[in-house]
Structure 1
Amino acid sequence: MTERTSLPTPLKILFGNISAKNSPAHIRWALKEYGDLMSQGNAQGIVDLFAPDGVLLDPVGSQERRGKDLFDFYQGSFDAMGGFIEMRLDGEVRIAGDYGAAAYIARMTIDGQDVMVETLDVMKFDENGKFASTHAYWGPPNVKAGRKPEKLR
């Protein structure tokens, strides 16, 4: 992927008021790392990506989770789904200021059934490069039959 060093003038005007404390490279890394940690079943590694007061809505509209609830949510999900959820980026990470958005394809086994979930996750980053908030957009229309998930090592 090639980074633009110069934007056309109309885009410079559009983006002129957007500031960022985090580099695009860091945001890309963090969203890829999130998927990799999900694919490893590493609940603590995922929690470590969050700010101490970071908030998770997964899916959007569900109960807000933070602090110890984050670990319990991720570990409980892994325990219920064979120890991990294969989660791969589906396209490029989108970045605007301190926000990153990523489409993922998640594959898991639930009660012996292999399923695929198409999700769009939007993360806001704090000044320390941690997730201040994570909003996962997905619902019943995004859940489909899928192939067996593969654990990342």
Structure 2
Amino acid sequence: MIKKSWPFIIGLTLLAGCQNAEPKEESKPSTAQKEEKAPTKTKTNKSFPYPNLLAESEQSFALLVIGDQDIPLEDNKKITEKVNDILSLPELEMAQTAYPELNIKTEQAYILFDQAGVIFQNLKELTTYLEENKPN
């Protein structure tokens, strides 16, 4: 009986010894990977009721468009150069239901956002505003 148990005991000892012999090193990401994953500091307004409408970075704007447009804003280069996110809602009632705290009154509305909140609301002057004002 003892002769049969020795291979088993030796096998367990070797197995246990191999597992504890070399401590596993945790893989550390390279500095390039660390830089990619580093969060960017943003000036988001945590008290703004609709953070999904805010611009993602300091170098861009976000735009909420309410109502049908004759010419798609995506085709206007003056707007798309500085506005990264454009959300369109076809009806005023949808916008008022989804975003009641914005107090939207007109059927055709263009609301520009930076990282803090609403900064501009007027289509006629929107392109002029974007040309004159750069994102922070």
Q: Same fold (TM over 0.5)?
A: no
Which is richer in helix? 2
TM-score with structure 2 length normalisation?
0.26
Normalised to the residue count of structure 1, the TM-score between the two structures is: 0.24
When Rg is computed on C-alpha atoms for both structures, the one with the higher figure is: 2
